[in-house]
Structure 1
Amino acid sequence: MQPGQVQFEQEMVVEADISSLFVAASPRSAGEDQDHIQALVEVRVPLPPVLVHRPTMRVIDGVHRLRAAQLRGDEKISVTYFDGSESDAFVLAVESNVAHGLPLSMADRKRAAGRIITTHPQWSDRMIATSTGLSPGTVSEIRRRTAGDTLIEGSRIGQDGRVRPVNIAAGRELAGKLIQENPGLSLRQIARAARISPETARDVRNRLHRGEDLLPKPRVRAHPRPEAAAPATPTERERIEPPAVTSDGEAISRSRIAARVAAVDRLKSDPALRFSETGRTLLRLFIFTLTGAEWQAIIDGVPPHCKGMVTSLARECAGVWEEIAARMDHQAVAQR
């Protein structure tokens, strides 16, 4: 199983007896949120099915939906089944809670990462970071503190499913040896044998021809910056995300970014929005616009010949949001 890969048939929704399901081994240490359960009781639209580990009938995702159904007096609930192992079921539970619903706390995500490192030691730091909503650097630090990492000198599986050595220097040295001993081998054959990418194999070959070291020298930045890889959740992103940019080029203060993230988090926890298509569309727009975009990288990536058109469209988008805000204000006044 790899993070983000659906290991169950989402379309196979069936009705299960609520009495046959049980709750255990949740990644959420704080337990169930009674206010959220009560909010779900009041939702009038059908809620998404609960995800259940078929071998044990344990609820992987949807405990709050299950409790709401029990409070309503329902005897059955819609479920989809997962047939994988217990360890993979835990990963899926973490992924589900990171991707939607009430977000896991930072402490819960770190504990989950430690458990996944133990049960899936062959997964790369970036792969585990995708599942837990942490940065790869945080996962790497947890791995150093976690017992049971037997592959530190071996290889790991990346997000693309490829196996790569943990120590890239060893892969480059092996590739160099193969090239010298077997000059007729193709780059793809060398890459496969040394567990590196074909492009890395090409670089090794070129360095050999030029008489250079096989390992490139590390780049030194004049002004080191924090790790740029943004994690999946707004809470962690608040800590390391580069400042947003205003129309006059000045950095927006971190307090304003934190306020935006908190507001989006509150909206995400509202079932009236999360469980309707229009609500989810609105949340996606807010998440990307306010918390999910590395705007400076996007701005820098616009080709010079497109900048005028992009600037014009950006102002048009700002006008659209202004009109939306005006309409919302008008409705609020009319409903008083």
Structure 2
Amino acid sequence: MADVPLDALRVADSPRLLGERPEHVEMLAAAQSPLPPIVVHRATMTVIDGYHRLRAARLRGESTIAVRFFDGDRAEAFVLAVRLNVTHGLPLALADRKRAAERIIASHPQWSDRRVATVTGISPGTVGEIRKSTVRDPDATGGRIGQDGRVRPLDGSAGRLLAGELLAANPGLSLRQVGRAAGISPETARDVRNRLRDGLELVPQQRRRKPAAVAAAVSSPGAAVAVTSGAVGRRAKPAGPGHPQRYGRGRQEAGPDHAALVTRLKADPALRFSETGRHLLRLLALHTLRKEEWDEIISNVPPHCSDIVADLARQFADLWSEFAVRITDDVAQIG
């Protein structure tokens, strides 16, 4: 956090279509307490969150204001601006949130409706309607990244057909093995097994979208590799924590949401109900801070401690690397 001259800050690209509310600015200016820090995009010195506080500081006659910096591109800065204005302070109007959803869909087309809805504070159904009305081909991405950081296909037909082939070739496979290899849930694998047993089509009529694309996905070399090297034959060496092969479906193009993945792990009884499991969860939770929070910690490390802290960070990184290697090797030996 730093004190920045008011004249150095830019006001632009606000998610509020009608701008700031004068009455709210006056209320903040009249308050006796110091104004909370505002969030600023470091690269452009544009205010992300805190337009009203900035106006209030000027009204008070102050020359500087406390600032927390955000590092990222303009699209990420806008997402953060919307998220912060939805969750605290003066809430965004519904029209502002819908317009924000349009922009986020355009800048992050791979995000799921539910993920966009969480940021903008509107329902997933409303986001879906906005996507249909603003995007020429809403299904062009082929998959969507959810709140947990996993990529999910829009059309599960390819996974169903692949699961059918696996079950036909080896009926003894568990539903979890089939689901992991085909990129579908165990429940979907169960439905495929029942349909295979009853002589029904593996893909329900209402789920079919693009037959040509489905056929290409099933016959692709990547699918064959996933079958032969995944959970079908001898148990493959699992990936590390957060890897899409272990906690997601298909291939993941974007980095995982660490906080969401740790939240999923916290729901696992094998970890929740053991002392060592809870200890591991506490350690992992320490690394779920947002980038701007890490930046604040880094900027506030006293200079006389920086060498010691940096050396400890390197040692801890080495310990985590050894930890990742050992747990994957141990699981592979058990398998």
Structure 2 length as normaliser, TM-score?
0.56
Structure 2 counterpart of 1:138, from 126, 130, 139: 126
Structure 1 counterpart of 2:99, from 108, 111, 118: 111
- Is 1:75–2:63 an aligned residue pair? yes
Structure 1 counterpart of 2:77, from 80, 89, 100: 89
Give the SS at the match of 2:43. Answer: coil
Stretch deviating more after TM superposition (59-68 or 78-87): 78-87
Give the SS at the match of 1:46. Answer: coil
Structure 2 counterpart of 1:159, from 123, 147, 157: 147
Identity of aligned residues (%): 61
2:186, 2:130 → 1: CA distance? 31
Structure 1 counterpart of 2:30, from 33, 42, 47: 42
* Aligned equivalent of 2:11: 23
Residue correspondence of structure 1 range 1-336 to structure 2 within 5 A:
13-147=1-135, 149=137, 151-152=139-140, 154-181=142-169, 183=171, 187-214=175-202
Give yes or no for contact 1:152–1:166 (8 Å, CA) kept in 2: no
1:212, 1:16 → 2: CA distance? 67
Give yes or no for contact 1:155–1:163 (8 Å, CA) kept in 2: yes
The Cα RMSD (Å) is 2.5
Deviations 1:134-182 (A, max 9, x none): 1111111111111365644611111111111112344333332343346
Following superposition, the deviation at residue 213 of structure 1 comes to 4.7
1:149, 1:102 → 2: CA distance? 35
1:193, 1:86 → 2: CA distance? 38
Give yes or no for contact 1:17–1:77 (8 Å, CA) kept in 2: yes
Give yes or no for contact 1:165–1:171 (8 Å, CA) kept in 2: no
Following superposition, the deviation at residue 200 of structure 1 comes to 2.5
In the alignment, residue 76 of structure 1 is paired with which amino acid? T
Following superposition, the deviation at residue 188 of structure 1 comes to 4.5
Structure 1 pair 67–149 and aligned structure 2 pair: CA distance change class (3 A):
farther
In the alignment, residue 192 of structure 2 is paired with which amino acid? V
Structure 1 pair 49–119 and aligned structure 2 pair: CA distance change class (3 A):
same
2:93, 2:174 → 1: CA distance? 48
Deviations 1:96-136 (A, max 9, x none): 11112222222221111111111101111111111111111
1:170, 1:164 → 2: CA distance? 12
Give yes or no for contact 1:178–1:190 (8 Å, CA) kept in 2: yes
In the alignment, residue 154 of structure 2 is paired with which amino acid? V
**Unaligned segments of structure 1, at least 5 residues:** 1-12, 219-336
Structure 1 length as normaliser, TM-score?
0.55
Give the SS at the match of 1:41. Answer: helix
In the alignment, residue 96 of structure 1 is paired with which amino acid? L
